[in-house]
Structure 1
Amino acid sequence: MTDVLISGAGPVGLWLAAELRLREIDVVVVETRSEPVAHSKALTIHPRTLELFAQRGVADEFLDHGLRIPAGHFGALEQKLDFRALETPFPFTLLFPQERTERILERRARDLGADVRRGNTLVDFDETADGVRARIRRADGSENAVTATFIAGCDGAGSTVRKRAGIDFPGTDADTFGILADVSLTRPPAVPLYGFSAMTGQAMVVPLPDGQHRIVGIDPLWQEPIAGELAFDEFRESIRRICGQDFGMHSPSWVSRYGNASRLATTYARGRVALAGDAAHMHFPAGGVGMNVGIQDAHGLGWRLADAVTALAPPAAALQEYDRERRAVGAALLASTQAQTAILAAFDPDSQALRALLNTLIAEVPELSRTLAARLSGLDVAYPAPAGAHPLVGRRLVDTVDGVRSAQPVLLHPAPLDRDLADALAGARVETAPTTHDIAILVRPDGHVAWAAEAGQATPQAIGDAVHTLRPGAGTGTGTGTGTGTGTD
């Protein structure tokens, strides 16, 4: 028996697997594809995701090979959002292909001990009193069973886990359609984030690290579902019609269509089941936020699942908190992408006037630009705090805390801890670190603040109460979970 079975080895599932392995939780990941994704649906890594990578000490490989652009866009408006105004160590958009992201994250998950089984498809599962029993089909058609304490659906918008768990996925069907191609250009735009919008349509051109460019567009003449593959000649003619030029595009490596269907799972967790990424939310790819929010889902789920497995928190309570926090983020994500779609896909004179006004406001009102940039980048996420809590509670800690690399909480304390308190924190698996600030802060494994108090109020009783609130099962530091199961064939 394994501790957690993950369906899906995209960036979300792989990051979740690594998070669990940091806590020595046994993990089996099953994935139908025999190789990582060939085409990079996601291209953008936003500041909050880079902060998560930095928390775990893995940001450098992305930073060394990605293309940094100090801006983002809202609804493909020509006036870009200035990320340099954001309070973060990473005030930029990093262009980095999903294909390379998956390879890095898979290597890391495997190095940490995750059992990643490609060519294996989740067919079905049943919940039992103490876990789940899943049917897995191998590439050769044979089947085997994997039993696990929990199952996580990181398997995309068509999630088998979500469907088999009976979790509804309400929303709206696609009525706006976009086109995309990765191509070589002989006449590329002079700016790295080129945008064009007129009554003829909308298009954006961005450089790729491999020398190609990605062109995305919305053609008002192509707003009915079209069966079959999109031909490159059709794509080139559409962009020429929209922009009045085709930028000398040639040698396509990928041509595709996509729609704006928007859906949100009614819950992110039920019983022994949890959802993350596109399995929990789907939307128009406006602003390049989808993969980022999915990785952030996995970051929030990993430590809670680990606490549940090791009896540091009751399983139902841990997953309820995950659902409460991250489903609200998913709802905000859909609201933002739907608003951007309305701006992107309206080509009448009144809509063009609205775009012109928004461009002017972003240029002239810095606070509007910062607010939209924080929302797009994921830096505005703050979780609900109890009444009377310190203002930091629920917010992310901007400074990277080295201790959270182990995916455990960290207590930052301005004074030496007495021995009894230090022993109690060790039993609760809370790391400690000194701070020069006159404030004590309990940092969650995901980098958000669980509790904070001025030094004079940070009594052993107050700290103990804060730890107990975060980890109700850690009172004696003797969690009953073992984290030592093994997958069964």
Structure 2
Amino acid sequence: MHDVVIVGAGPVGLFLACELGLAGCSVLVLEREPEPGSPWRAGSLGMRGLSATSVEAFYRRGLLQPLLTASGVHDDRGPGPDADAPSPPRGVGHFAGMMLDPARVDLADLPFRLPSPAMDGMLTNLGAVETVLSEQASKLGVEIRRGVTVSAVAQEGEGVVAYAGEDAYAARWLVGCDGGRSAVRGLAGFEFRGTEPLFTGYVMLCTVADPDGLSPGFNLTPTGMYVRMAAGHIGMMDFDGGAFDRSQQPTRDHLQAVLRRVSGTDVTLSDVRLASSFTDRAMQTTSYRRGRVLLAGDAAHIHSPLGGQGLNTGIGDAVNLGWKLAATVHGYAPDGLLDTYTRERHPIGAQVLDWSRAQVAVMRPDPHAQAIQGVIRDLLGTRGGTTYAFERVAGSSIRYDLGSEQPLVGRSAPDFRLEDGTRLGDLTQDGRGVVLDFTTDGRLRGSATGREGRLRYAAGAARNDLGLGAVLVRPDGIVAWAGDRDFEREALERPVSQWFGHAQL
């Protein structure tokens, strides 16, 4: 019996597998596709934007450089992480097809932003992400079995069994990371609620006979939207109420008719090599856990791909769940720790669904929505409006309610840098929590923090300590506690026991 069986070997399932493997759990990943490669996961069709928080997740596990290499990305962001102040972001995405100007991001409104190798988001593709994570999972002893379709799930006492035909895979816990049409979600009886679609979206790789008739980039029109990218990659949104039957493969004639309608042109598609459809159906499970079965990524929440939030939200789920499930497996999790997964991540998923719905509402081809577009464009023309949208797209506005009024608690930790050059990102690569002691008297020095292997301790003055004396960082990079320069050692005892059980200070 494995500690955990994960269904789905996409980025979310693989990231979770790496987190669990790093913590010493025995993990089996089941994937229905027989081979990892697919044209939908490579090149422009597989292109995805990783938010700042997702890039941080790779950085904190020592996987950022491999990901940059696999993605063919050269890190030329200008002022490096040794700079005294963070540089402005280079690209900040869009809202409802309206591009955001990075020059309008007000860094003064981002008080916890410190220079870091993971400062910005990045463009990559699913193939590169999965290659890096698969290699890491293999190094950590994770087993991946492909060509396995799960057909039944049964919870039995202190375990759960996934059935695939006549084969049975037993584990103490099972996590469904099998996408928007999750089999695990249905088989385990999760309740799925939300809103029905307003549009049908299309993605295709094609040849346009008269490409000059289509403008590059995002194009919001009175009848929908189209996106023209490189190498014949075109996306479209047709506000038909989601009427296209997604069980059918869209034909060239159908795609050409939609493209002409939403672009207001008479362009001709010479051929279509690949095509797929989607909708803006926005749904979420009411809980991310039922007994010994949990969900992460699109298995727990689906929405339109506007803003590129799906992959990033899923990675956030995996990072949040991994260390909590590992602590539960090993038996040192404080009471209720695993329940905080739903409590913390469900509101984030709900916010992402609403962010997607808001964009769809603004893009509708009617006078009311187009009037709102004008207002939104004016707001995005201000520093405050762009900064707000940047924080949402980058994930930097995410803050878990951990019951503290200290403004940094519940947020992703800045990449503090000690005077000896050690960064927080260097200390998190083994997946443990971290205590950073910035005090000159080293009042935590000599502690037994690392005795049980759950926490690392690092002391020394920081290049910029943000006025703090010490910080407790969870394995997922979230600040669990922060004390000013006059903090008392005893103040750490409660947050340590809350998140790490009986780990000693």
Whole-angstrom CA distance in 2 between matches of 1:327 and 1:293: 10
Where does residue 149 of structure 1 map in the other structure? Answer: 172
Residue 195 of structure 1: how far off its partner (Å): 1.9
Where does residue 278 of structure 1 map in the other structure? Answer: 298
Count of aligned pairs:
461
Where does residue 482 of structure 1 map in the other structure? Answer: none
Say yes or no: does 1:129 pair with 2:157: yes
Cα distance change on mapping 1:5 and 1:264 into 2, 3 Å: same
Conserved in 1, the CA contact under 8 Å of 2:207 and 2:269? yes
Where does residue 409 of structure 1 map in the other structure? Answer: 433
Whole-angstrom CA distance in 1 between matches of 2:266 and 2:336: 54
Where does residue 483 of structure 1 map in the other structure? Answer: none
Cα distance change on mapping 1:162 and 1:245 into 2, 3 Å: same
Residue 377 of structure 1: how far off its partner (Å): 2.0
Alignment of 1:396-475 (within 5 A): 396-399=412-415, 400-415=424-439, 422-427=447-452, 429-436=454-461, 437=465, 438-459=468-489, 461-472=490-501, 474-475=502-503
Give SS of 2:406's match: coil
Whole-angstrom CA distance in 2 between matches of 1:95 and 1:188: 25
Of 314, 319, 322, which aligns to 2:338? 319
Of stretches 167-176 and 274-283 in structure 1, the one that deviates more from structure 2 is 167-176
Q: CA offsets per residue over residues 45-65 of structure 1, 9 Å max, x none? A: 222111111111111233343
Alignment of 1:93-132 (within 5 A): 93-132=121-160
Residue 147 of structure 1: how far off its partner (Å): 1.9
Conserved in 1, the CA contact under 8 Å of 2:474 and 2:480? yes
Conserved in 2, the CA contact under 8 Å of 1:153 and 1:274? yes
Q: Which amino acid aligns with 1:279?
A: A
Conserved in 2, the CA contact under 8 Å of 1:440 and 1:458? no
Whole-angstrom CA distance in 2 between matches of 1:450 and 1:355: 39
Residue 191 of structure 1: how far off its partner (Å): 12
Say yes or no: does 1:59 pair with 2:89: no
Where does residue 50 of structure 1 map in the other structure? Answer: 55
Residue 8 of structure 1: how far off its partner (Å): 0.7
Residue 361 of structure 1: how far off its partner (Å): 1.8
Conserved in 1, the CA contact under 8 Å of 2:153 and 2:161? yes
Give SS of 1:398's match: coil
Q: Which amino acid aligns with 1:470?
A: W
Whole-angstrom CA distance in 2 between matches of 1:337 and 1:16: 25
Whole-angstrom CA distance in 1 between matches of 2:191 and 2:455: 37
Conserved in 2, the CA contact under 8 Å of 1:155 and 1:278? yes
Of 40, 65, 70, which aligns to 2:91? 70
Give SS of 2:486's match: helix
Conserved in 2, the CA contact under 8 Å of 1:232 and 1:252? yes
Of 369, 377, 380, which aligns to 2:386? 369
Of 377, 381, 386, which aligns to 1:359? 377
Alignment of 1:32-431 (within 5 A): 32-36=32-36, 38=38, 39-40=40-41, 43-64=48-69, 65=71, 70-77=91-98, 79-82=99-102, 85=105, 87=113, 89=116, 90=118, 92-137=120-165, 143-183=166-206, 194-207=217-230, 212-220=231-239, 224-226=243-245, 228-245=248-265, 252-314=272-334, 317-344=336-363, 346-363=364-381, 365-387=382-404, 389-399=405-415, 400-415=424-439, 422-427=447-452, 429-431=454-456
Where does residue 480 of structure 1 map in the other structure? Answer: none
Residue 35 of structure 1: how far off its partner (Å): 1.5
Q: CA offsets per residue over residues 297-331 of structure 1, 9 Å max, x none? A: 001100101111112214x6122111100001011
Cα distance change on mapping 1:129 and 1:260 into 2, 3 Å: same
Identical-residue share of aligned pairs (%): 32
Q: Which amino acid aligns with 2:399?
A: A
Give SS of 1:298's match: helix
Give SS of 2:337's match: helix
Of stretches 443-452 and 414-423 in structure 1, the one that deviates more from structure 2 is 414-423
Q: Which amino acid aligns with 2:65?
A: D
Give SS of 1:109's match: helix
Conserved in 2, the CA contact under 8 Å of 1:71 and 1:80? yes
Whole-angstrom CA distance in 2 between matches of 1:57 and 1:70: 24
Cα distance change on mapping 1:455 and 1:166 into 2, 3 Å: same
Whole-angstrom CA distance in 2 between matches of 1:249 and 1:264: 37
Whole-angstrom CA distance in 1 between matches of 2:101 and 2:498: 39
Cα distance change on mapping 1:53 and 1:192 into 2, 3 Å: farther
Conserved in 1, the CA contact under 8 Å of 2:455 and 2:503? no
Residue 250 of structure 1: how far off its partner (Å): 5.8
Conserved in 1, the CA contact under 8 Å of 2:449 and 2:456? no
Q: Which amino acid aligns with 1:195?
A: F
Cα distance change on mapping 1:360 and 1:420 into 2, 3 Å: closer
Pairwise CA RMSD of aligned residues? 2.9
Conserved in 2, the CA contact under 8 Å of 1:81 and 1:370? no
Conserved in 1, the CA contact under 8 Å of 2:297 and 2:317? yes
Unaligned runs of 5+ in 2: 75-89, 108-112, 416-423
Q: CA offsets per residue over residues 108-165 of structure 1, 9 Å max, x none? A: 211221100111222223223322233234xxxxx32222111111112232322233
Whole-angstrom CA distance in 1 between matches of 2:66 and 2:267: 32
Give SS of 2:226's match: strand
Conserved in 1, the CA contact under 8 Å of 2:451 and 2:504? no
Residue 265 of structure 1: how far off its partner (Å): 0.6
Give SS of 1:96's match: strand
Q: Which amino acid aligns with 1:299?
A: V
Cα distance change on mapping 1:442 and 1:27 into 2, 3 Å: same
Whole-angstrom CA distance in 2 between matches of 1:439 and 1:385: 19
Where does residue 484 of structure 1 map in the other structure? Answer: none
Whole-angstrom CA distance in 2 between matches of 1:394 and 1:16: 21
Conserved in 2, the CA contact under 8 Å of 1:70 and 1:91? no
Q: Which amino acid aligns with 1:59?
A: L
Q: Which amino acid aligns with 2:394?
A: S
